[in-house]
Amino acid sequence: MSFIRKRKRHTSFIDVSPMMDMVFILLIFFIVTSTFTRETGIDVTKPKASTSKELARESIMIGISRQGTIHINETQVNLSSLQTILKQMMAESPDRPVVIVSDRDAPSGRIVDVLDECNQAKVRKVSVSALRDD
């Protein structure tokens, strides 16, 4: 009678839990240290001004592109619906300022049109965004 000996195989494994801990710590670090800015959804080249100031982050951002298109909260709107949208936003918070972020090469007539719509929507604080000229 022959007996067959069974050999025990030792399987080795790599413990990945310390690596997962490090990944989660890095993820939390990057989330906490990153800043989230709410922009208009279009790329603009802002004009420079030596008297520019920081404004509150809770402002309504209206973007005007180089081609003259108008954007609010990353969506393109037309001029006729801008007043209605602004009235709805002002009904929620009447003291919210509006910041017009216009491209340096945008038509100045479009900026005046947006300012006029802001006045008709009874916006109290309207500013035009610019870079600080140092």
Is 2 part of a structural domain of the chain?
no
CATH number at residue 95: 3.30.420.270
Integer Cα distance of 14 and 17 in angstroms:
9
pLDDT tens per residue, range 75-113: 889 888 998 999 998 888 888 888 888 888 888 899 899
Nearest to 63 by CA among 55, 47, 49, 75: 75
What tokens were used for 96? 């919210």
Is 101 part of a structural domain of the chain?
yes
Rg (CA), the chain: 28
pTM: 0.60
Is 66 part of a structural domain of the chain?
yes
Is 113 part of a structural domain of the chain?
yes
Is 18 part of a structural domain of the chain?
no
Question: How many helices (H) and strands (E) would you count in the chain?
Answer: 3, 7
* Residue 78 belongs to domain spanning: 48-132
Number of domains within the chain: 1
70 near 78, Cβ under 8 Å?
Answer: yes
pLDDT tens per residue, range 5-51: 666 777 777 888 889 999 999 999 888 887 655 555 666 666 666 66
Is 6 part of a structural domain of the chain?
no
